[in-house]
Amino acid sequence: MQSFREQNLAMLLQPGSIQVGLRRSEMTTLTYAAGEIALPRRHVEEWVRIDEVNILILGISDVALNASLRSNRRPGGIARDTALSG
């Protein structure tokens, strides 16, 4: 089980797959290319399985995230996509 308190960006350093799900019996496989960035959900306990994939995880504080939102002034804030294009 994994749960993030702060917002994180996760970048795969090599091609690979990750399995995630709210229940162990309902895990979905997500396949990423090297350099792709994922935006994991925060405050949600999820099952995560990572086999032989190197990942860089960068935490972003709420202060920095709010400052970014204020500077962008976009309606609706940040999109909730699983994968972000690099």
For 48-68, the pLDDT digits (tens) are 898 888 999 988 888 887 887
More confident residue, 16 or 1: 16
- Predicted confidence at residue 38, as pLDDT, reads 86
Confidence check: pLDDT of 71 > 80:
no
Confidence check: pLDDT of 37 > 60:
yes
Query: In the β-sheet with 55-60, what is the strand arrangement from edge to edge?
Result: 55-60, 7-12, 37-38, 83-84
Confidence check: pLDDT of 14 > 60:
yes
Q: Tell me the pTM.
A: 0.63
**Which residues is 20 bridged to in the sheet?**
28, 48
